[in-house]
Structure formats: structure tokens, C-alpha cells
Chain A
Amino acid sequence: MSGPVLSIKDLAVSFRSRQGAVNAVRGVDLEVMPGETLAIVGESGCGKSVTMRTVMGLLPAHADVRSGDIDFRGEKVLQQNTAQRNRWRGSRVGMIFQDPLSAMNPTMRIGDQIAEPLRVHRGLSRQAAQAKAVELLEKVGVRDAATRARQYPNAFSGGMLQRAMIAMALACEPELLIADEPTTALDVTVQVQVLSLMKALQQTSGMAIVLITHDLGIVASMADRVAVMYAGQVVEYGPVDQVFRDSLHPYTRALRNALPGMHTGASHLPSIAGQPPDLRRDIAGCAFAPRCQYAMTACHQQAPMRQVIADDQQHGVCCWLHDEACEAGRVYRGERT
């Protein structure tokens, strides 16, 4: 089973709005390899969630997929209707969401919600599915699982509920788990527990994880590879240590520098000057150029092509500074050592 589990090519998604089309995703290429954890990072509105929701067919009615191709193990996702998607959704690909309290049905018992995919996809009987649900709850570290399975979401804490969510998403042992900011709504201590649970479950099952987050600390501790998104595009991707150590894109560098360190006082929180671009307009050139301290004339005129840094073909960036012919880029590239 070599080759990527999921591959996304040139995906473009826009939303219809009164003020015109909002181009939320503007040409995303991504690949997820079996068993790996790929983190997608970027600030709010950069298109990271929209990209993965497109994969799952969870876009709202006013969204249009403009172009692109999504391939999950031979399933041509964008050409499929709901019934065809439901053959793999929830069974071969699981998804968990940001706020577990609103993402669970408040009027349905936890056990029934976990058992549901087993009944639908595996055709298990009610009893068998219930038994499996209790087993799954135990596996994700919910104590007294048999009692807890009969409770409703309102009886659960946020952390416990996210564990139940994970149990539900993993009920059918998927090859891929998409986690959309799974810990954003949780306490910091609970975050660590939930993340290490995901890691542990990945090690036993060998599933791939796509982790959507804006927390670079989570990326560093969880992910094998990272894709940095900005204004609907992947601007840099590669193995986590390489991307963090040798950040190629000025945006990645700025993000890294914006992390408050131990020695930063509370009075000074570094930030990136300016705002992300208005996605309703056509963007000529590089989307980050207006905020980029290294921006050149070319950056404002023409969008940069993807450059793969030659050593291992793993680490790529979309930035003119890394163009062979770029004079200023030599200085920029020389800066990083």
C-alpha cells in the first residue's frame, strides 16, 4: 500500500457571498502518506479547514469547487455523489471537530453515537455495536465506560467528549483521520492528553492523521510533516524539523518569530504587521507580498512557482526569493544558516 492515502491537486474552492465570490482555497496541492501525521497550519481564514471539508464533502451549500482533483485510495472524491462518498466517509476516513460539545448530538446517548457508524458501515447488530462502543470508550481512556455510554453529551466534560468523538471517528478503524483543530476548545492540560491519545492510537492502528491547527507547538510535538497555508495556498511544506529549523518562506519565519518565548515579556507580543489579503479580489503576485519585508517588484506582479529544495525533494516553498535567478534571494537565503 505505498503511494499517498490522500492526494489533493490544484484544489480551488470559493464561497458565494453578497459581495461576490470569496476565493477561500486558491490552488492547494497536498499529499498524505500512509501512517504519517501531516499538520496544516495557518491563521484563521487561510483555507485549511475548507480544504479538508472539501475532502469530506462537508462544504455548505453556497460553496463551489472551482477546480482540482481529490484522490483517496482511488476514490475520485470530487466526482462522487453523497451516496458514493458514504461508502468511505466515516468508515475509511474519520473526522473530528473543534468543539466536541456542539459536534455531538445533544439528544442521543454517547454509546449510540459511537455505535452508529458500526451499525451503518459494518452492519453490526444493536447489541454488538453497543458492546464495541463501550470497548472503544475504554480504549480512549473513558473510565466506567459502560455507564458513560448510556449518558448524554451534557454529562461529559470537554476533554472526555473529545475522547468520545475520537472513539466515534475511529470506530471503523479508518486509514485516515482528519482532525480539525481538535484541541482548540480544550484546556491546555487536556490538550496534551487528547493529543497523546491520538498519537498512541495512531501507533497501534497505523492510520494517517491530518491535523489542522494554528498552534505551532502542537505541530512540533505531533506532526511528521507540515504544510503552511496562507490566503488559500500552501506556501511551504516539508518535514517538521526542516520547516521549523530552515524556514524558507518569509511567512513561516514570521510565524515562528511570532511565538512568544520564555524570555518575551508580556508587554511585547511579536506579531506580523498588516492583514491577510481580501480573498474576494484577484490577487496578482504573491499573496503575502504586502506584508513581506523582503518583497520585490516581481512579488507584486506574478505569483511565485513552487520551488522544491533539491536535497531530498521533500521540502518545498512558493517564494521568488528561492528562484535561482533572484539576486536578492541569494542574500535572503544566505541569511539563514
Chain B
Amino acid sequence: MMRFIAGRVLYGVFTLWFLATATFFAMHAVPGDPLASEKAVSPEIRRNLEARYGLDKPLLTQYGIFIGNMLQGDFGISFTQKNRSVNDIIREHFPISAQLGVLALLWATFGGVVFGAVTAYYRNRWPDYVSVVAVIICISVPGFVFAALAQLAIIGLNEAVGKDVLPVAGWEAGSFRHMLVPSLVLGLGTLAYLTRLMRSSMLEIMDADFVRTAKAKGLATTRIFWQHQLRNAILPVVTVLGPAIAGITTGGFVVEQVFAIPGLGRYFVQAVQQLDYTVIMGTTVFYGAFLIFLVMLVDILYGLIDPRIRLAPEKLRQKGGPV
């Protein structure tokens, strides 16, 4: 297991280096630079600014400096936001995005597993048909439409009750009321996708030989579900959790924008528009590291759920090579 984790970490570091390098050169290949958006300045001031940010040096030297600073955990100062370091921006705004994302992921996973299992049990009856239609809508309609609709619904609710039950937009640190609706909207697409996945996986498991054995053992239906079906049916869901996390974190931008939530997504997108080099690199590398870490967690989780996966490398070693 330790070998497995060490391997994944090494692999993750390499991925991260590749991501940083590719982003760095792609970013510099884009016409213009962070200073182009400033008001017309004299060549002298411009030279001073370039020297201050190190933009006067050859590209490879800049790359070397960037990598060196990155290894020390320093992403530099933002071009567009005076006197704010990239680290400050991440430290301040990422926890907000993370809270929203984790909550959305929880809704998506629990909702997907529960709805998927239920629709599998009601296969080809009305709850199943209702879910099919709902899933198609949730997957194909873009998130900002749901975000706007959700705001309308909140306004309607607040008016009907006569007081502010839920905020229409905005953010307060640690306030669940402000997180509830945005996280639901954010998780909706993934929830729908996981519902479908869980349904087909559950249907397969319901006909499995070992479920028949469980029935022959005289176990109650609920026990068969919890002890025998769920853990096996959930495996495909765990597999796609990695990509699902990526979808939710990167998709957070739109939802954050509509609900006026000061998350990291906004800075990520703004930085690209303004070619704010340091913020682009900082947020990209940070998001990349975050995703790699989560995908690795999912892999380990997968091994914990399915002993066949966990054993595979050991078996290979015993047989002295790949089979």
C-alpha cells in the first residue's frame, strides 16, 4: 500500500511539473502581456515595470525563476491587484470555493447513490421514468440557467413567507444558508450523472450470482441491499468521482459569479482575461495540485472498497511480472 501511494505521489509531482511548464509557455505565447492593459505609459516607465516583474529577462530565465519560486511555495505578486501576493489571493478565496465544492460533491454523491438505487428498484415503473427525464434535463441544461431559476425560486419563497428565509446571493463566512442553494445548483449535473451510473450498476448487481446466494441464505431485502449490493454497485461511482471533482471545482466559477460568491474561480478566469501571469500560474498550479491530490484519494478509496484492486500489485509481484 505504501509503495502504491509513493508511486502515485511521484506520478502526481511529474503531472504537476508538466502542467506548470505547459501553462507557462502557452501563457507567454499569447499576444500581449500584463502591462498592455495599463494606460499608455512612457517607454521608460514600461522598462522599469518590466524590470520590476522580471519580464525583461529571457523567457527561459523567467521560467527558471518561476520554477525556483514555486518550489519554495511562492507564486509572486499579482499584476492587476496591487500589493496582493498570489498566495494571499489563494489563501483568502480558495476556502470559500472549497466549502462550496465539497458540499456540492456531498449532495452529488449521496443524491446520486440514493436516487440511483431507488430508480433501479423501481426499474421501468414511474419513479424510474420521472428520473430519466429529470436526469436528461439536469445534464443538458447549463448551470447558470439553474442558478438563475434557483434565485427566482428563492425570491418567490421569501415573498411567500414574508421574510428572508434564504439569501438570494452573497456570502458570509461559515453561513450554511448562503452555501445551501449555490452548492445544490453546483452539484446538480454531477448528481444527475451519478444517478444514471448508479442505476445501471445497481441493475447489474441485482442479477449477480452472489445476490442470489444472499437470498438463498435467507437474508432480508434490506440486509442484502446494505451488505451485498451497495458496496459492489458503488464501485463505478467511486471511479468517476475523480473527474466529477474536477467538473465541480472548475464549474464553480459560473455559480460563484451568479450568486456573487467571492471564490477562487472568479480570480482564475479574470487572471486569464487580464493576462495576470503570476495569478494564472498560481491558480493553475494550485488547482492542479488539488485535483491530483483528490484523484489520488479516490484511487486509495477504491482500493479500500474493492479488495481485488488492492491485491492486484501484490499478485503481480508474486508471479514475478505482469501477467
CB < 8 Å: which of A60, A103, A107, A154 contacts B311? A154
Q: How far is the CA of A99 from the CA of B210 in the complex (A)?
A: 10
Please give, as numbers and ranges, the residues of chain B lying within 8 Å of A107 by CB-CB distance.
231-232, 305-307
B307/A152 in contact, CB under 8 A? yes
- A120 touches which one: B215, B216, B223, B311 (CB < 8 A)? B223
B6 CB-CB contact with A under 8 Å:
no
Q: Is A280 an interface residue (CB 8 A)?
A: no
Chain B 195-223: CB-based contact to A (< 8 A → 1; otherwise 0): 00000000000011110111111111101
Beta-carbon contact of A85 and B209 below 8 Å: no
Q: When the two chains form their complex, are residues A90 and B208 in contact, meaning their CB atoms are under 8 A apart?
A: no
Answer yes or no: B8 CB below 8 A from chain A CBs.
no
Q: A49 to nearest B CB, angstroms?
A: 11
Within 8 A of B (CB), among A205-255: none
Q: Does B93 contact A (CB under 8 A)?
A: no
Contacts A87-B218, A89-B218 hold; do A106 and B232 have CB atoms under 8 A apart? yes
Q: How far is the CA of A56 from the CA of B214 in the complex (A)?
A: 12
Pairwise interchain contact A90-B231, C-beta atoms closer than 8 A: no
Contacts of A154 in B (CB 8 A): 307-308, 311
Question: Contact: B307 with A83, CB < 8 Å?
Answer: no
Among A86, A90, A106, contact of B210 (Cβ-Cβ < 8 Å): A106
Q: A97 to B307, Cβ gap below 8 A? A: no
Q: In residues 152-208 of chain B, which contact A (Cβ within 8 Å)?
A: 207-208
Determine whether the beta carbon of A105 is less than 8 Å from that of B307.
no
Per the CB 8 Å criterion, the residue count for chain B at the interface is 24
Q: B residues within 8 A CB of A88?
A: 218
B48: chain A residues at CB < 8 Å are none
Chain B nearest CB, measured from A118 CB (Å): 10
Look across to chain A and name the residue whose beta carbon is closest to the beta carbon of B235: A107
**Interfacial chain B residues near A152, Cβ < 8 Å:** 307-308, 311
Q: Which chain A residue lies CB-closest to B214?
A: A105
Tell me the minimal C-beta distance from A177 to chain B in angstroms: 11
Asked if A117 is at the interface of the complex by the 8 Å CB criterion, the answer is: yes
Q: How far is the CB of B267 from chain A (nearest CB, A)?
A: 42
Q: Is the CB of B217 within 8 A of A117?
A: yes
- Which A residue sits closest to B217, measured CB to CB? A90
Contact with A along B216-242 (1 / 0, CB 8 A): 111111010001100110000000000
* Residue numbers in B under 8 Å from A86 (CB-CB): 218-220
Contact A97 B214 (CB under 8 A): no
CB neighbors of B among A57-108 (8 A)? 57-58, 60, 82-83, 85-91, 94-95, 97, 99, 102-108
Q: Establish whether residues B212 and A108, one from each chain, have CB atoms under 8 Å apart when the complex forms.
A: no
Q: A106-B308, A107-B306, A155-B311 are in contact. Are A91 and B210 (CB under 8 A)?
A: no
Contact with A along B308-319 (1 / 0, CB 8 A): 100100000000
Q: Are B209 and A102 in contact (CB under 8 A)?
A: yes
Pick the contact of A58: B212, B220, B232 (CB < 8 A): B212
Q: Which of B216, B218, B221, B228 contacts A105 (CB 8 A)?
A: B228
Q: Which residue of B lies closest to A98 (CB)?
A: B209
Closest to B311 in A: A154
Query: Are the C-beta atoms of A89 and B215 separated by less than 8 Å?
Result: yes
Whether a CB of chain B sits under 8 angstroms from the CB of A121 is yes
Which A residues between 115 and 147 are near B, CB-CB below 8 angstroms?
116-117, 120-121
Tell me, yes or no, whether A168 is within 8 Å of chain B by CB. yes
**Nearest CB of A to B90, in Å:** 39
A86 to B223, CA, bound (A): 12
A120 touches B232 (CB 8 A): no
Q: A102-B210, A108-B227 are in contact. Are A91 and B218 (CB under 8 A)?
A: yes
Closest to B305 in A: A107
Distance in angstroms between the alpha carbons of A308 and B230 in the assembled complex: 51
Bound CA–CA A90/B220 (angstroms): 11
Q: B219 near A104 (CB under 8 angstroms)?
A: no
Contacts of A95 in B (CB 8 A): 213, 216
- With a CB–CB cut-off of 8 A, which chain A residues contact B223? 120
User: A90 to chain B: which residues have CB within 8 Å?
Assistant: 216-219
A155 to B7, CA, bound (A): 24
Instruction: Give the residue among B208, B216, B227 with the most A Cβ atoms within 10 A.
Output: B216
Jot down 27 A-B pairs with beta carbons below 8 A, ordered by A.
A57-B215, A58-B212, A86-B218, A88-B218, A89-B215, A89-B217, A90-B218, A91-B218, A102-B208, A102-B209, A103-B210, A105-B210, A105-B213, A105-B214, A105-B228, A106-B210, A107-B232, A107-B307, A116-B217, A116-B219, A116-B227, A117-B219, A121-B218, A152-B308, A155-B311, A165-B213, A168-B213
List chain A positions with a Cβ less than 8 A from chain B: 56-58, 60, 82-83, 85-91, 94-95, 97, 99, 102-108, 116-117, 120-121, 152, 154-155, 165, 168-169
If A102-B210, A103-B210 are given as contacts, then 8 extra A-B residue pairs at C-beta distance below 8 Å, sorted by A number, are A57-B215, A58-B215, A88-B218, A97-B209, A99-B209, A103-B212, A106-B307, A120-B220
- Closest 5 pairs (CB-CB, A-B): A90-B218, A89-B218, A90-B217, A152-B307, A102-B209
